[in-house]
Amino acid sequence: MADLLDKELHGFHLIDASAGTGKTYTITALVVRLLLEKRLTIQQILVVTYTEAAAADLRIRIRDMLVTARSCFAGHGCGEAFLAELHETIADHARAGRDLACALNDFDEAPIYTIHAFCQRMLRENGLESATLFDVELATDLRDLHWQVVCDYWRLSLVDKKPLFLHYLQGRLNPEKLLELLAKNRPGITLCPQVQGKDNAALYDNFQRLLQEAVAAWPGVATDMAAIFNDEGLKKNVYPLHSRPKWLHDIDAYFRGDLLLPPDCLAKIGRENLQNGFKKGCRPANHPFCSLVDRLWQAWQDLQDSFAEQVLALKVGLFGYADKAIALAKEEQRLLGFDDLLVRLHEALCQEGGARLAGLIRKKYPAALIDEFQDTDPIQFEIFSRIHGRAADHLLYLIGDPKQAIYNFRGADIFAYLAASRQVGSRYSLADNYRSEAGLVAAVNAVFSDECGPPSFVIEDISFEPVSSPGRPLDELVVEEGEQSPLQIMLAGDDEETGQLSAPQSKAVAIRACCTEIRRLLHLARRGRARIGSRELAPGDIAVLVRSNAEARQVQQALAEIGVAGVVKATDLLLASHEARELLRILQAVARPGSEQRLVAALATDILGWSAVPLYRRSEDGAAWDRVLERFERYYLLWRDRGFMPMFQALLAGEEVRQWLLRLHDGERRLTNLLHLGEVLQGQDRRSMHHLMGYLRQGLAGRHGSEHEQRLESDAERLQIVTVHRSKGLQYPLVFCPFLWGGSKMRKHKEFIFHDQQQRLCLDIGSADVAEHLEMARLEELAENLRLAYVALTRARNRCYLLWGPFYGSQESALAHLFHGRADEERAGLLARVKAMTGGQRRRELEALVARSRGNIALVPCPQEVDALPSSGQEEKERLTFTPMPAVIDRSWQVSSFSRLTAGLHQEAFIADRDRSREEVVIAEPMEVGREPTIFDFPKGAGPGTFLHHLFEHLDFRAFGSVGHNEVEGWVATRLSRFGYADTWRGPVTAMLAAVTACRLPQRRFCLADLDLEHRLNELEFYLPLAPSRAADLVDVFARHGHAGGQAFVERLRRLDYRLVKGFMKGFIDLVFCHDQQFYIIDWKSNYLGHQLSDYQPRNLEEAMVKADYILQYHLYTVALHRYLANRLADYDYERHFGGVYYVFVRGVDEKEGSGIFFDRPAAELTEDLDNLLVLAEPGPGGLS
């Protein structure tokens, strides 16, 4: 490195530092020369880099160089060539020693900063010149603010839009997509296209007029349209027989108002399509409605074009609104983001007085060394150019390597670097690679040489200059078996094979090949036949470089399957980790302990570790499943009453999470992440389950959270799985690159950034020139992928492995460009040729590359099979056996329920009764066009049943009748929105609630509106200690007494699959209330029995009660309440205190019609006999909680 003494120490210069060529050493050498030759102090030499880790490393390396230099000038020998020659050129060694000693004494004041730290310091120190407030706070994460601005923009933009446009917008644009779009914003970016997008009232009115005409005509022509669809003359390839019923159903649903947007099949009944859809010789029907549909469909197409322009306008408008709103919010909150630091300093340097500010900074730092300058952007370059670049008596060095510019996604702009390179006074290149073995250096030179192909890095201004190896001794890799070349290309596929593998197959082949070779190397190492220098090759010497975190997890899992522990050093934030996603599922289950679907999803996570078999068979062991339900209910109560952390600790202990996770190959990492997540959530705990789960969701979406995964001491000993971006600046003895064959990730219909012909930064959000712009963007993407490939290959010190073959999309990859590109071939030709290659053609073109490498590159067949790596120590493991357990477990002890009692009569069994398994599947009558919806039209099933139960559970019956109509509807609307139902149901649901609460209850002369909150108990839970009994015993009891349901009910009982059980019966009573010293039971039923009030008359209700086994259910509820009251009322008497049971079928309640409410009051003797039969006497009356 003697040429380090030839570099100038004034002016504006650029150093191209290829990978491994001693860039950091060059910076340390320049610092020493500036101290000794220019007599600058350490405080006057500015060193700027781009990450805190890089700044910390530079600080260590510069200090070490100063210590070594001081030793040299103190006469203790100069072991390095640069220092030896510098020692010769400096005449006054004593003065040099004093200068170096002063620099070391003052080293804590050395200005070695990140770019953001430098800008922040300059703004603070020059507050008046830069017009920067002194009390602003640096915000490390502005994503929450951006999200709030996006949500505000969304609401303001849509507040006056027509409902049809809002429905069109669904699936096309939402706040989440706008946030992703805003993340692409850059200072000075140009949007394509620039549109205004105003509402076109004429188009909308024309469409609505035609639609109303078609809707009015449809009832009279629906039969005619069905006949046309059934015509034998229709071409079956144009009108497939299996599609016609669905098309007709969708068209019918649209004209009846069930679909909000016209279905695509609407055009199928247009006159033009029908004329083309009939067979030759068959004359299509000339129906006037078909012509109306043609006009309607054309009006819809015109309106959609207008809507599409409005969507573009929403996207364009976001940027102007967000720039102003974010700036205003930051000003109000006195915040600055990291990018604001650069923008503020740049603005201060460009405005009036900027020259004075530049002079002040230049006087403070006469010399500036800017590291990693390939990752610059126009603003960063302009800052240093204005400070130092225009002053010949000062020094500015830009140090970087355009071949390693891989941070475009962070805003880095390679074209800014190229523009800077054209303005420098001189340009130097570092030509010696000190990192890698000589053979590997030669192999990389051969791969990136453009002598026989197109420009290696696509962009002509980025040239590849071969580097050499100075012959510095390195620890040699010795592998006593197999191919010895330092760069090995594992080639997949046979010579005669054509076509490409699918994406999953491609990844599987690549991962399997890497795992096979890794296993082979580590197996040889254990036998002493694979070494680095004098020591055994270890897993920590190997790195697998990947493009994404998902690929990293796939590789880690595959390695684990062969017994190799790998640690993922990805860029994941803690709140975006796999454990965070699974913890969210678990918390959702805890927050809703009655949701079996959420509980199953939680148990199926890796954290809780349930496999598919026990989850599938959970209904076979009801007691065990009930215990799981009870545990999660306890977790819920802990969270509700005591906060997150007590619940979290109880869950870890109760589900044995620690023990389970530590059995997994990466259990230590998983458990560390989980515990770390618990601490982070505890810091957010505001006793609100919704808040914590929302915080986790936003973290998974990348909207906040700066916590990174904690590093473990054991990580360094494991095989390293690293993203290429994170590997930059690092080195490993062995490197595997299994995924460099990946193609373009850009897709149509997605916004993308590109540079136009004038190299201006542009964002295409759907312009007319999108095809041309997309090709330009894909060419830039290829250029970056080539730079990523260069970074990946140059991380290796001793050996590197690449994967190549007929992989999915590989024709678009960097390796296709390097391995098969031709200087005289267009890009489209290369894509087509590589995609159509046979295995033999691929191999022959690679053999030419191997020949040029002079033995430093080898083609090796892609391994097909991989076995597990034997564990260290004894490979023959002792055969283990289990010790038999002679004890017999009594499985008749259970916690049962009414649902399990009647499980044999239904398809499914549920603990909580929400009209799920009891309700028959009923096809509702079609809703007439133009008719207002009623409660009969309200959706059916478990979800709507849960919603209606929720309303009655939280409704104050007395207050409901006394407040205003608007207030009532507002209360209903809020809950409809919370449960995801349209506001159109506000009126029907409100009317239903009014009918139920105002209706005089049968056999009594009061209504629910007469009840106070303090006289009712919602969701009363009970446990009854069961006595052994049989179904036949139940039949005998009911046969001795009168009961509702008659013989049909008795026949149902005879078919009851009721086994002898011991334990408890658990249940919930929807409502128990007290009126005039009598207690009543109410069970809310949302069952759909028909579309008329007559369908809910007493006879129909009794039939439904029998069919759904509700009669048995309310008798059990009566026994439970009977025991509850006997335990709590000193003078309890059944005849005096028990009022009866109401089953309220809420859809059909009408007092005048006498419909919708079933009433019964079981005889006291029947209740006593059931109590004696079913309930153990020992515990005594009660048992309810």
Q: Has residue 888 been placed in a domain?
A: no
298 and 342 housed in the same domain: no
In total, how many domains does the chain have?
5
pLDDT bracket for residue 1032 (50, 70, 90): confident
Look at residue 331 and tell me whether its pLDDT is greater than 60: yes
Mean of pLDDT values over 773-796: 94
Q: Among 445-449, 595-599, 1156-1160, which stretch is predicted with the lowest mean pLDDT?
A: 595-599
Half-sphere exposure of 66 (CA within 13 A, CB side): 23
Q: What is the pLDDT of residue 458?
A: 92
CA trace torsion 763, 764, 765, 771 (10° rounding): -160
CA trace torsion 806, 807, 811, 814 (10° rounding): -120
What is the C-alpha to C-alpha distance for residues 858 and 454, in angstroms, rounded to an integer?
Answer: 23
Tell me whether residue 186 is exposed, middle or buried, using C-beta atoms within 10 angstroms of its C-beta: 0 to 12, 13 to 18, 19 or more: middle
Q: Which residues are 1017's β-sheet partners?
A: 1072
Chosen domain end from 662, 693, 708:
708
Closest CA to 1159 of 1172, 1145, 1180: 1145
- Amino acid type, 902: T
Q: What is the CATH number of the domain that holds 131?
A: 3.40.50.300
Q: Has residue 240 been placed in a domain?
A: yes
Structure token pair of residue 478: 């010795």
Q: What is the pLDDT of residue 681?
A: 86
Active-site annotation holds for 1083 = yes
Q: Has residue 421 been placed in a domain?
A: yes
Mean of pLDDT values over 1003-1016: 88
Mean of pLDDT values over 1009-1026: 88
Q: What is the pLDDT of residue 703?
A: 55
pLDDT bracket for residue 1036 (50, 70, 90): confident
1080 and 931 housed in the same domain: yes
Chosen domain end from 861, 882, 906:
861
937 and 1037 housed in the same domain: yes
Q: Are 953 and 242 in contact (CB under 8 A)?
A: no
Q: Has residue 312 been placed in a domain?
A: no
Q: What is the pLDDT of residue 8?
A: 86
749 and 645 housed in the same domain: no
Q: Has residue 345 been placed in a domain?
A: yes
Tell me whether residue 194 is exposed, middle or buried, using C-beta atoms within 10 angstroms of its C-beta: 0 to 12, 13 to 18, 19 or more: exposed
Q: Has residue 565 been placed in a domain?
A: no
Chosen domain end from 861, 884, 917:
861
Cis omega (within 30 of 0) on the bond before 1025?
no
Q: What is the pLDDT of residue 666?
A: 75
Look at residue 14 and tell me whether its pLDDT is greater than 70: yes
Q: What is the pLDDT of residue 941?
A: 75
**What are the residue ranges of helices labelled H in 430-573?**
438-448, 503-526, 549-561
Q: Has residue 314 been placed in a domain?
A: no
What is the C-alpha to C-alpha distance for residues 122 and 380, in angstroms, rounded to an integer?
Answer: 14
Q: What are phi and psi of 762, to 5 degrees?
A: -130, 155
Give CA angle at 704 (702, 710), nearest 5°: 85
Does an H or E element contain 110, and which? none
Which of 244-253, 442-451, 731-740 is predicted most confidently? Answer: 731-740
Sheet holding 752-755, edge to edge: 190-192, 761-764, 752-755
Q: What is the pLDDT of residue 843?
A: 94
Q: Are 65 and 50 in contact (CB under 8 A)?
A: no
Q: What is the pLDDT of residues 105-118, one digit of tens each?
A: 999 999 999 999 99
Q: Which residue has the tokens 């078996």?
A: 481
255 and 358 housed in the same domain: no
Closest CA to 287 of 242, 215, 223, 236: 223
Proportion of the chain above pLDDT 70, given as a percent: 90
1001 and 1150 housed in the same domain: yes
793 and 926 housed in the same domain: no
Q: What is the pLDDT of residue 567?
A: 85
For residue 166, count other CB atoms closer than 10 A to its CB.
Answer: 11
84 and 217 housed in the same domain: no
Helix (H, G, I), strand (E, B) or coil at 806: coil
CA trace torsion 1143, 1149, 1152, 1157 (10° rounding): -10
Q: Are 596 and 909 in contact (CB under 8 A)?
A: no
Active-site option among 413, 572, 937, 1083:
1083
pLDDT bracket for residue 592 (50, 70, 90): confident
Q: What is the pLDDT of residues 165-175, one digit of tens each?
A: 999 998 899 99
Q: What is the pLDDT of residue 982?
A: 82
Proportion of the chain above pLDDT 90, given as a percent: 51
746 and 704 housed in the same domain: no
Mode of pairing for the β-strands spanning 395-400 and 367-370: parallel
Q: Has residue 566 been placed in a domain?
A: no
1024 and 1170 housed in the same domain: yes
Q: Are 668 and 712 in contact (CB under 8 A)?
A: yes
Q: Which residue has the tokens 């009408």?
A: 1150
Look at residue 951 and tell me whether its pLDDT is greater than 80: yes
pTM of the model: 0.69
pLDDT bracket for residue 921 (50, 70, 90): very low
List the domain range (segments joined by +) for residue 267: 201-305
Q: What is the pLDDT of residue 504?
A: 93
**Could you tell me which residues come within 8 angstroms of residue 949 by beta carbon, excluding any fewer than 6 positions away?**
914, 1070, 1084, 1086
Mean of pLDDT values over 210-228: 92
Structure token pair of residue 523: 């197996």
133 and 277 housed in the same domain: no
Q: What is the pLDDT of residue 312?
A: 92
DSSP string, 1123-1184: HHHHHH-TT--HHHHEEEEEEEEGGG-BTTTTBSEEEE---HHHHHHHHHHHB-STT-S--B
What is the C-alpha to C-alpha distance for residues 645 and 679, in angstroms, rounded to an integer?
Answer: 8
Look at residue 907 and tell me whether its pLDDT is greater than 90: no
Q: What is the mean pLDDT of the chain?
A: 86
Q: What is the CATH number of the domain that holds 952?
A: 3.90.320.10
Q: What is the pLDDT of residue 872?
A: 45
348 and 295 housed in the same domain: no
Look at residue 1059 and tell me whether its pLDDT is greater than 60: no
Q: Would the CA dihedral through 657, 659, 663, 669 be positive or negative?
A: positive
Q: Are 173 and 262 in contact (CB under 8 A)?
A: no
What is the C-alpha to C-alpha distance for residues 788 and 776, in angstroms, rounded to an integer?
Answer: 19
- CA-based R_g, the chain, Å: 38
What is the C-alpha to C-alpha distance for residues 500 and 842, in angstroms, rounded to an integer?
Answer: 12
